Amino acid sequence: MKNDFEIDDTDRAIIDELRRNGRATNQQIAEGLNLTAATVSSRIRRMENANKLRVVAVSDFRAHGYNVLMEVAIEVDNRPATDVAQELAALPEVFAAHLTTGRYDIDLLVVLQTIDQLPDLLMNKFGKIKGIRSMIPAIAVDIVKYKFDVAPIEARED
């Protein structure tokens, strides 16, 4: 299927319904939007096939035993930042990795079960990755907003 279609108002309405209730059936969504279940089903499938939509479950960090959320800004030297970021992203503690502009080259979102894991992470795991010049960890003390209803959808490997 071609990936060049644009999401229209009907697609957005379907997405909004799924955000409100990810367990809603196609029939329930259709009734709320004055559509047929077949239309809802085909539009969801079309958006999924074009990597415009993925329906997933979201759970709280603590449900997985993570009690520490932190950001780590990383400056890279003598190595491509993309290579360093890929190596960092492979670590299970790294929840998100972004290449950035500005003073730092990479920004990470990291989760830990306890703060006691921080020295091992920074010194033994991050410290073994070549090209890291400096790291600035910042521990989240409170989450004011964490909006997760839009995200880049990775290409599926079939």
Domain ranges of the chain: 9-49, 61-139
Going across the sheet that includes 94-99, the strands are 94-99, 106-112, 68-76, 132-139
Least confident residue range of 15-19, 30-34, 83-87: 15-19
Query: Is the dihedral angle over the CA atoms 56, 62, 63, 66 positive or is it negative?
Result: positive
3-class SS at 106? strand
For the domain spanning 61-139, the CATH number is 3.30.70.920
Backbone angles phi, psi at 75, to 5 degrees: -105, 135
Look at residue 157 and tell me whether its pLDDT is greater than 80: no
Nearest to 44 by CA among 30, 60, 63: 30
| pLDDT digit string, tens, across residues 104-143 | 999 999 999 999 999 999 999 999 999 999 999 999 998 8
- Say if 9-49 and 61-139 have the same CATH topology: no
Look at residue 21 and tell me whether its pLDDT is greater than 50: yes
Look at residue 31 and tell me whether its pLDDT is greater than 50: yes
Backbone angles phi, psi at 26, to 5 degrees: -60, -35
Asked: is 9-49 a CATH 1.10.10.10 domain? The reply is yes
Query: Is the dihedral angle over the CA atoms 88, 94, 95, 100 positive or is it negative?
Result: negative
In this prediction the pTM is 0.71
